[in-house]
Structure formats: C-alpha cells, structure tokens
Amino acid sequence: MSNPYQPIPATILETHDETPNIRTFKLKPEREIPFLAGQFVELTVPGYGEAPFTPSSSHFKRDTFDMTIMKVGRATSALFDLKPGDRVGARGPFGQRYPLEKFEGKDIYIVGGGVGLAPLRALFLALVHEIGKYQRIFLRYGARTPADIVYKHLLPEWQKIPKVDIDLSVDVSDEKWMKKVGVVTCLMDEIPCDEKSSIAVVCGPPIMMKFVNQKLLDAGFQGGDIYLSMETNMSCGVGQCRHCRLGPYLTCKDGPVLTWDQIKDLENPFV
Amino acid sequence: MTQRIVTAADLDKLVAGWAKSGAVYAPVEVKDWTEFRRIVSLAETDLTRVNTKLSARGLLFPHCETMFRFEASRPDKAQEADEPETQVVLGVRSCDAAGIAVLDKFFSGQGETDTYYQRRRDRTTLVGLSCHAPADTCFCSAVGGSPTGTRGLDLLLTDLGGRYLAEPLTDKGAALVKDMPEASASDLAKKAELADRAEAAITERIDTRKLKGLLDTADGNPIWEELSLPCVNCGACTFVCPTCHCFDITDETRKGKGARIRVWDTCQSCTYSQHASGHNPRLAPSARFRNRTMDKFRYTVDQVGEVSCVGCGRCIRECPAGIDICETVERLMLALVK
C-alpha cells in the first residue's frame, strides 16, 4: 500500500532571491513528481513540518521543479535558512489541474497579485510551451512596490514571446517606475479580449481576488470561465484532515483552483 | 452465520485468550465515567453503561500518532513508525461501530487510502454490545442506526442476563466464538424482544431526510448567528464525536531525533483555518459553528453519501453551553422552511 503521507527526498539545486522576502528554490526530487499546472505539492522542511506550494515551473520539464516561496511562517522561515545541496521532502501532486483542453483556441487573461504570480507561472509556461493551441495570452500583474515584483529578470523575456501581452502595476512607485501605479485592477479598465469567450485565471491575496473577480464579471466574463486559486490551509493534501474546507469543497482535492460558478453561492468566499 | 451463546464465564475465558495474542480494549470505569482501556480480564470492564466518555475512534485513529521518524542529521532518511498490534475491541455500542463504518468511508473509501488508519483497521476486531437502555441523549434511530445495529461490527453480543447471544457478522467475528454452543430459538426471541424495547425507548427527535436539500441554501442564513450564540468554540463536541476526524500534521525534533506526528484537531479552534499569512476565512465563531453543523449534515452527504452523525449523543452530554445538536437541527430546519 503506497503511503500518501511519505515525502520523497529532494535536493535544493539553486535558489534565486526574487524580492527581499520571496525566493525561488529549484528542487530535484529523487523520483519525479508528475504534477500538472494548477496542482500543488506538500513541501517538507525537516523538523519544521510541511506547507503546500504550487510548483512555479513548467510541467513539461519535471526532473527538477521550481517553487517560489514567501518567507511568512515557521516552515518557510526554516526553509530560507537552507542552502543549495540541502535536503527537503516533497509529496504530491495533489488537487486538480487547469483544464487546458478547455482553454484551447481562446484568449487567456491571467491576473496575478504579489507572490500569487508563482503558481500562475507554471500555467503561463505550460501555455507558452504549446502556444499554437491558444489565441493570445494576457498577463496582468500587480505588486506592492517595484522591489516586490517577482520574476523581474524573466518578465522582459516573456514579453518578447509572440501572442503574449504583459502589463504591470505597483501600488507604490519609485522614481524609476514607468508603468501604471495602482492596485492591479487599474490594469483592467480595458480588457483587450472577447470577454464572453475568453478564459480568466486569477491568483493573489483574497482581497485582490475579490475585486479582480468582480471586475471580470462586470466586464462580461462567464462565471465558469473564471478560474480562481482558492488557496486555503491545506495540510494533508488528500482530503482527510479537512482544514481546507471551503463550503462543500475540500480545496486540496476539489481545488485549489475553482471557478467562480463553483463558489458563487458561498457566503463571502473571499473572506 | 450461526448465532451462539457465550456465558459470562466463557466470555471471561475468551477475553483472557484474546489478550494473550494481542491487545483487548473494553470500557473500564474511571471516576464517574467509562473509557476504552486495555484489559487482560473481563473483571476489569464495566459493560453496563451506555456510552464511554470518548468514542472508540481513538483506537483506530489515535489522539496523537507517530507517522514516521527521522534523524535530524539525515532528514531524507525517514523510518516508518512501528506496525500497530492486533486488537479486539469489546463492548462497542452500535452507534460507535456505525461511526467507524463512516470513518472507513472517509479514510479508505474514496481513492487514496489513509495508511495509518487502514493498518490499524485491518488488525482490529470489533465486538459490539447491544443497548438495552439507551440514555436520554441517544438518538441513533433518527440517523439510520439502532440500539442493536450491526453496521461496522464483526460480532454483536446481546446480554440475555448472565449469558450473551453472539451474532457473528464477519468471518473474523465468527472465528472468535466458533467453539461456543449454538443459540436456541428462545434465545433469539428474547433478543428480538429486548431490541424492540430498546428501540421504543428512543424518542426520535430529528428527521434528517429532508435536511440535505434544505441545507443546500443555508450558507448565508442569519439563523447561524442565533444558533451559535451560546457556543464557546471549545471543541469538546468534536473530540467526543465518533466520526469527527480532523487532524493536524506537525514535526517534532529533540536531541537530534525527529518525528512527524498527527494530532486530532478541531474545526472550532480559531487557528484551524488560518493561513500562514494570518488571513483567516473562519475567524467568526458562528462561521466555525456553521462549518461543523454543515459538515455533519450536508457536506459529508456529498462526500460519502450519508450524514456523519450516528446519534451517540456525546456532544449533547459534554457541551458546556448546553447546546443540543438535535435542537440545532430542528431550529435550523424551521428557519430554512420559512
């Protein structure tokens, strides 16, 4: 009987500081973890426990995978003390993937906030890998300040990809910032795709998701076409511990990505 | 399967025999309550009281359990915790056995099997004991059970007065009493009479049949505020419940050795749903109260096809605020029908 709670040993190959408190870890697991964009992995920091993260690298290359993590709790603080060569554990994949077959032939409008761009990167890279299958890919990303933007070194490269359109905003600018200033919804006043037949994908803090979702609905997006990363306190990953309960859903099994149609009847799903 | 008769003296010998080849757990008197404890002789037990303080769930899903151990210097080399012993649990009431049948569905009935639960379950034989005199908090028959229900059990004993009717329900149960004499027609008639009397003693207090449909639209109803007002979110109801099975996974390290453990958790705790960021989707006490009620009577119906309340009445008995789950359901239904 395979044990879903037993992590696979993984080695930290390299790290990259994205912002003062967000770092990308490249991990090499002893056995491949067959994740698809949208699914998550429970990462073990030995002695400090586990935390759920969605890989931020493409599922078309899985011998190693990236995780972009914000230093915020006990396990992540301990993780930030680890160096390349150190060992961690990983188990998964858990949850549901993005139904990419439903995205084919459509415009895809991705909205990220803060470290919420991390799981969206896995989706973005998967889409770009088979760019011929999709119409255009729009990425709208907001961070607090220019220093808080993740993947600063990658964004200019992504912008060069044909059919990809990227725009950024920061809540608070500095003297060098040339783009928009404001919360991410300020990038959404004009949505350059056909809302009725496009896919929207959102990940960010709950308050950001709430307002972005409303903006998308107001613009005419269909509730079943808005994919929201409903990250909750997922502990076991296999629908047993029940911490991640969101109305009738256990987000670790039914999510973490749910459509607006799935959650619209819940009382205040973004609280 | 052949029903048999086990005298008190025979049961004493059987228990001594089971205790030689594995663990035997049974209700034992502790102050003014009973709880499942390890025994070696029938004399240690108190089989007269209806419900133990905690349900039998802890024998399959312990309060605190080591999942695996590791050396802090070699965190990648995990060593699985020791295999559990075989165990016979004697004196399980029908509601508790039904609770275990519900846990079976959660832990091993839907795709991925919970290794730690299943390996205990595989090594466990459940010997039930019919209820003759249900407590005033009992409502098993309102949620599909019965004081002499056999669901989840391997063997059901019914006290016929100094001797027990033994009904095997599985091969495992039959093997326990295979050398005992067969029961007579009058023994079976006596049991039927006792069963009817016990059934009649329970006044059915809730009707869960219409509940699921009503609860589908209950989420934003203001009644939750009112219903949850007396609740102090202490979580006692979740700890005594036979089907509650929330847990938390954590690592503990000491002097270079570490273990990953899992511990019972409660959805009534304010940190239960809290994210690492501090964001808390169920900060309001009423939201936590609603979560438990909805989980019992609606969400698990979607998940495992039945309500996850077996009517043992422990939450009613233990609630420091006097909340009665039957009354909660009744008032909820009244509010939702309006």
Gap from A58 CA to chain B (nearest CA, Å) = 25
Report DSSP letters for chain A, one per residue: ---TT-PEEEEEEEEEEEETTEEEEEEEESS-----TT-EEEEEETTTEEEEE---S-TT--SSEEEEEE--SHHHHHHHT--TT-EEEEEEEESPPP-GGGTTTS-EEEEEEGGGHHHHHHHHHHHHHTGGGSS-EEEEEEESSGGG-TTTTTHHHHHTSTTEEEEEEESS--TT--SEES-GGGG-SS--S-GGG-EEEEES-HHHHHHHHHHHHHHT--GGGEEEE------SSSSSS-TTEETTEEHHHH-SEEEHHHHTTSSSTT-
* In a shared domain, residues A109 and A147: yes
Residues of chain B in contact with residue A89, where contact means CB-CB under 8 angstroms, are: 75-76, 78
In a domain, A255, yes or no: no
Indicate whether A218 and A107 sit together in one domain: yes
Backbone φ and ψ of B329, nearest 5°: -65, -40
Nearest CA to A60 out of A156, A135, A128 is that of: A128
Give the angle subtended at the CA of A49 by the CAs of A46 and A54, to the nearest 5°: 100
Distance from CA of B137 to the nearest CA of A (A): 27
Q: Per-residue pLDDT tens for A145-169?
A: 999 999 999 999 999 999 999 999 9
State the nearest Cα–Cα gap between B56 and chain A, in angstroms.
19
Q: B272-277 — which CB contacts under 8 Å span 24+ positions?
A: B272/A233, B272/A243, B272/B246, B273/A232, B273/A233, B273/A243, B273/A245, B274/A233, B275/A231, B275/A232, B275/A233, B276/A51, B276/A72, B276/A73, B276/A75, B276/A76, B277/A72, B277/A205
A73·B276 Cβ contact <8 A: yes
Chain B: give the shortest CA distance to residue A245, in Å: 8
From chain A, pick out residues whose CB is under 8 angstroms from the CB of B107. 240
Contact A4 B265 (CB under 8 A): no
Res A195: pLDDT? 79
In angstroms, what is the C-alpha Rg of chain B?
21
Say which amino acid occupies A98.
Y
A80 burial via Cβ count (<10 Å: 0-12, 13-18, 19+): middle
Task: Provide the domain count of chain A.
Answer: 2
Residue A238 lies in a domain: no
pLDDT value at residue B219: 84
- Contact state of A49 with B251 under an 8 Å Cβ cutoff: yes
**Dihedral sign (CA A240, A245, A250, A251):** negative
Average pLDDT, chain A: 94
pLDDT at A176: 93
d(CA A193, CA A222): 13
User: B19, B41 in Cβ contact below 8 A?
Assistant: yes
> In the predicted model, what is the mean pLDDT of residues A107-112?
97
Q: Are residues A16 and A123 in the same domain?
A: no
Answer whether A4 sits within 8 Å of B70, measured CB to CB.
Answer: no
Q: Which of A1, A235, A246 sits opposite B249 (nearest CB)?
A: A235
Size of interface A-B (CB pairs under 8 A): 111
Distance from CA of A87 to the nearest CA of B (A): 7
Q: Do B219 and A9 touch (CB under 8 A)?
A: no
Domain boundary among A94, A127, A152: A94
Q: What residues of A are in contact with residue B279 (Cβ under 8 Å)? A: 205-206
Q: What CATH number is associated with residue A204?
A: 3.40.50.80
pLDDT at B76: 65
Q: What is the pLDDT of residue B218?
A: 86
B78 touches A: beta carbon within 8 Å = yes
Q: Could you say which residues of chain B have pLDDT below 70?
A: 73, 75-76, 204
> Within this chain, do residues A25 and A123 fall inside the same structural domain, yes or no?
no
Task: Please check whether residue A198 lies inside any domain of the structure.
Answer: yes
Q: Do A267 and B291 touch (CB under 8 A)?
A: no
**Residue A247 resides in a domain:** no
Q: Looking at the domain assignment, is residue A240 inside a domain?
A: no
Residues A105 and A225 in one domain: yes
User: Residue A1: its pLDDT value, please?
Assistant: 60
| Site of tokens 């296999």 | A238
Could you give the angle at the alpha carbon of B124 between the alpha carbons of B122 and B130, nearest 5°?
135
Minimal Cβ distance to A6: which of B78, B248, B275: B78
Hey, which residues 118-157 in chain B have their CB within 8 Å of chain A?
A: 118-119
- Name the residue of chain B whose CA is nearest to A264's CA: B219
Cβ contacts of B249 on chain A, cutoff 8 Å: 5, 49-50, 235-236, 241
End-of-domain residue from the set A60, A94, A128: A94
Of A47, A72, A265, the CB nearest to B219: A265
Tell whether B107 is within 8 A of chain A (Cβ).
yes
From A208, A229, A250, the end of a domain falls on: A229
Q: What is the pLDDT of residues A114-123, one digit of tens each?
A: 999 999 999 9
The mean pLDDT of A103-132, rounded to a whole number, is 97
Q: How many Å apart are CA B105 and CA A258, to the nearest integer?
A: 25
CB nearest B272 (choices: A44, A231, A243) = A243
Quick check: B245 contacting A, CB < 8 Å?
Answer: yes
How confident is the model at residue B75, as a pLDDT? Answer: 62
Read off the pLDDT of each residue in A237-246 and give the average, rounded to a whole number: 92
Cβ-defined contact of A5 to B116 (cutoff 8 Å):
yes
Residue of A nearest to B67 (CA): A5
Beta carbons within 8 Å of B36's beta carbon, 6+ residues apart = B25, B26, B27, B28, B52, B54, B56, B58, B59, B89
Q: Is residue A261 part of a domain?
A: no
Which residue among A47, A76, A245 sits closest to B75, beta carbon to beta carbon?
A47
- A259 found inside a domain: no
Scan for tokens 């910032």, then name that residue: A177
Are A21 and A81 in the same domain? yes
Q: Do residues A137 and A209 both lie within one domain?
A: yes
Please state at what angle helix B115-122 crosses helix B94-108, rounded to 10 degrees: 130
Nearest CA in chain A to B280: A271
In a domain, A244, yes or no: no
Is residue A158 a contact partner of residue A166, using CB atoms and an 8 Å limit? yes
Do A87 and A109 lie in a common domain? no
Q: What is the pLDDT of residue A232?
A: 82
Task: Select the more confidently predicted residue: A20 or B109.
Answer: A20
Please tell me the distance in Å from B70's CA to the nearest CA on chain A. 8
What is d(CA B299, CA B315) in angstroms, rounded to the nearest whole number? 19
CATH number reported for the structural domain that contains residue A32 in this entry: 2.40.30.10
Q: How far is A103 from chain B (nearest CA, A)?
A: 28
- Short-list B154, B122, B152, B167, CA closest to B22: B122
Q: Is B275 on the interface with A (CB under 8 A)?
A: yes
Q: Where are the domains of chain B?
A: 4-62+79-200, 208-250+265-336
Residue A211 and residue A225 in one domain = yes
Q: What is the residue range of A45's domain? A: 8-94
Is B70 at the interface with chain A, CB within 8 A? yes
Q: Is A200 in the same domain as A123?
A: yes
Q: Do B281 and A205 touch (CB under 8 A)?
A: no
CA distance B173 to chain A (A): 25
Complex confidence, ipTM: 0.90
CA distance B198 to chain A (A): 35
Q: For residue B118, list chain A residues with Cβ-Cβ distance below 8 A.
A: 1
> Taking the mean position of all CA atoms in its chain, how far away is CA B74?
38
Are A232 and B273 within 8 A, CB to CB? yes
The pLDDT, as a whole number, for residue B324 is 95
pTM: 0.93
